[in-house]
Structure 1
Amino acid sequence: MVRRLPPLFALKAFEATARLGSVTRAADELGRTHGAVSRQLRALQDHAGLALFDKAGTGLRLNAHGEALLPMVTQALDQLEQGWLRVLDDARAPSVHVACSATFAMRWLVPHLASFYRRHPGMRVRLSMTSAREIRHQGADLLVAWDRASYPERDQARAIRVADVAFGPVCAPRYPIAVKGHRMSFAARIAHEYTSRAWTLWQEESGLRVTHKSELTFPHTHLCIEAALSGLGVALVEQRMVGDDLRAGRLLAPVGFVPFADGLAIVPASERVASVAAQAFIGWIADELAAG
């Protein structure tokens, strides 16, 4: 079958120009001259038999045809790049690409990776950051997450539980907090901007009701923890993320931690979940998390 496609570089020139809004900037990124990129754009439009850009002052602006084409070209180039990198990675050593939150990566995964490499010295782990606000797996094979409410139902159904999780409120040692019966009160509650339901779940599971005068929100759990360490309020976090701080006395957990039913899970994000490296990572992380 003969593919009816324009030259690859013409598509790369189109995508870079549309993304950067400038032929000059596209030429700089692609390592070509302004004239070479302009010729590729003309060749692409001639191949299509229609214009993809309109003049906008001294620059170019996508028209309706270009707007329709751009997401398809971007997706195709992203997939091609990811596939190419996988081939290169696998040629060097079996690898698995894992996406997780920045907090989990910094406070648990990276400090424990030496254990993975001792068990599997011939394998490699690539890391990407994702968040509860936007699931950005960037070509990852596996996603690590506890809060999967925003995930598509298909991904939730495929999730592989690897560990229990337990959440609890933490604060600096001298931060004023009162616990009376089934009520806990303090001045400022610290919440994650995109997983604020954690406080609701914690109250349901713990049987405690929280009253507070104000709330501070942050986009990352790491920032919530730092705010608690600074004495700004009470943050709700998973116990593994603050283990060192609790042992060192930098934080206190005044009412302990309670388990969340969904637990921590691996969500398959590519067809490579069955690969040797992906299965090795899943087995290792389950064992490592169980070990404490």
Structure 2
Amino acid sequence: MGALRCFEAAARRESFSQAAEELHLTHGAVSRAVRAIEEELGVALFERRNRRVYLTDAGRVLHQAAAEAFGVIQSATRRLRRDAQHRPLVLSCEPTLLMRWLIPRLPGFSEAHPSVSLRLVAGGGAVAFGEGIDLAIRRNDHPVLPGTFAEALFDERVGPVCAPVQQARFFDGVRVHADAPRLHTRTRPAAWAAWAQRAGVTLPQGPEALFEHFYLSLQAAVAGLGVAIGPYRLVCDDLASGLLVAPLGFTPDGTHYHLLTPRPILPGTAEALLLAWLREVQS
């Protein structure tokens, strides 16, 4: 292909020197490329006389074919580049973070970057790119697969939350009442124990309830059924609206969220715009 490109430029300009200048090569490199094609085909493509070159009949045949082929390739690459610019980025995100934090904030991203289209997919665990997913937001409680690049977003902070009407019943100053129902979730079964260890408190025996997903345990807390361990970004909107309270505040749990990609993010790309926005939206 490189040799054909040299030949096509030399044939179009009928000049090895001008072809070399166009392709940012030396005159000798263009001449050797053309000679290699002539030797491969067993025909002369140029007549060389008086320091000029002229296409032979065989050269005109090959030039027409090469010009058409390169024209088709150029048209296809333009179309692919145009389609890629308009193709939505497919972003996978953990379901509860997606519902309770990301989606409510996406109008701000669309307003700031109207040219970038996003398609959201709920998902968790390790990410295998190449299955229709371009980017993924994940907490670092799962291994990152080889060949995956991780851009840090924010630390995870957690704390006990409950409905405001139940605060006096479920909390006693800086403690959770022993008879306050503790709401657990299968997706983070050690959330209460991990919080207690980092907060330096001992959890007494008391009533408990188990839910399949974090979203359900948080909704149960909103309904006044008990106290849930609330990751800050999953409950910040409910705190702002008064649906939940966090009497003991929030403590870093040692985990972090990252934006995962199959390749490094280049400046100026849609991926770079999304990364910068995610880092700006911290609450």
User: Which TM-score band (shorter chain)?
Assistant: 0.5 to 0.7
Structure 2: distance between partners of 1:195 and 1:174: 26
Q: Give the length in aligned residue pairs.
A: 200
Correspondence for 1:166 among 115, 140, 157:
157
Aligned to 1:221: 214
1:252-290 CA deviation, whole Å, 9 max, x = no partner?
A: 21211112333222122x34855812222111101122x
State the SS of the aligned residue for 2:255.
Answer: strand
Structure 2: tracts of 5 or more residues without a match: 1-79
Please, what TM-score do these two structures have when normalized by structure 1? 0.59
State the SS of the aligned residue for 1:211.
Answer: coil
Read off the aligned partner of 2:222 and give its amino acid letter: L
Change over 3 Å in CA distance of 1:282–1:181 after alignment to 2: closer
State the SS of the aligned residue for 1:199.
Answer: helix
- Greater displacement, 105-114 / 198-207: 198-207
Instruction: Please report how far the alpha carbon of residue 89 of structure 1 lies from its aligned counterpart in structure 2 after TM superposition.
Output: 9.3
Structure 1: distance between partners of 2:128 and 2:204: 34
Structure 2: distance between partners of 1:122 and 1:252: 38
1:251 aligns with 2:244: yes
Aligned to 1:239: 232
**How does 1:242-281 map onto structure 2 within 5 Å?**
242-268=235-261, 270-271=262-263, 273-274=265-266, 276-281=269-274
Please, what TM-score do these two structures have when normalized by structure 2? 0.61
Change over 3 Å in CA distance of 1:90–1:222 after alignment to 2: farther
Read off the aligned partner of 2:88 and give its amino acid letter: S
Structure 1: tracts of 5 or more residues without a match: 1-86
Aligned to 1:151: 143
State the SS of the aligned residue for 1:210.
Answer: coil
1:192 aligns with 2:190: no
Aligned to 1:285: 278
Instruction: Please report how far the alpha carbon of residue 118 of structure 1 lies from its aligned counterpart in structure 2 after TM superposition.
Output: 2.2
Instruction: Please report how far the alpha carbon of residue 112 of structure 1 lies from its aligned counterpart in structure 2 after TM superposition.
Output: 1.1
Structure 2: distance between partners of 1:219 and 1:135: 22
Aligned to 2:119: 126
CA contact (8 A) 1:96 1:281 kept: no
Output the aligned Cα RMSD. Answer: 3.0
Structure 2: distance between partners of 1:283 and 1:142: 14
Structure 2: distance between partners of 1:232 and 1:261: 28
1:89-133 CA deviation, whole Å, 9 max, x = no partner?
A: 94461532111122212222111112212222211111100135x
| Bigger Rg over Cα | 2
Change over 3 Å in CA distance of 1:222–1:89 after alignment to 2: farther
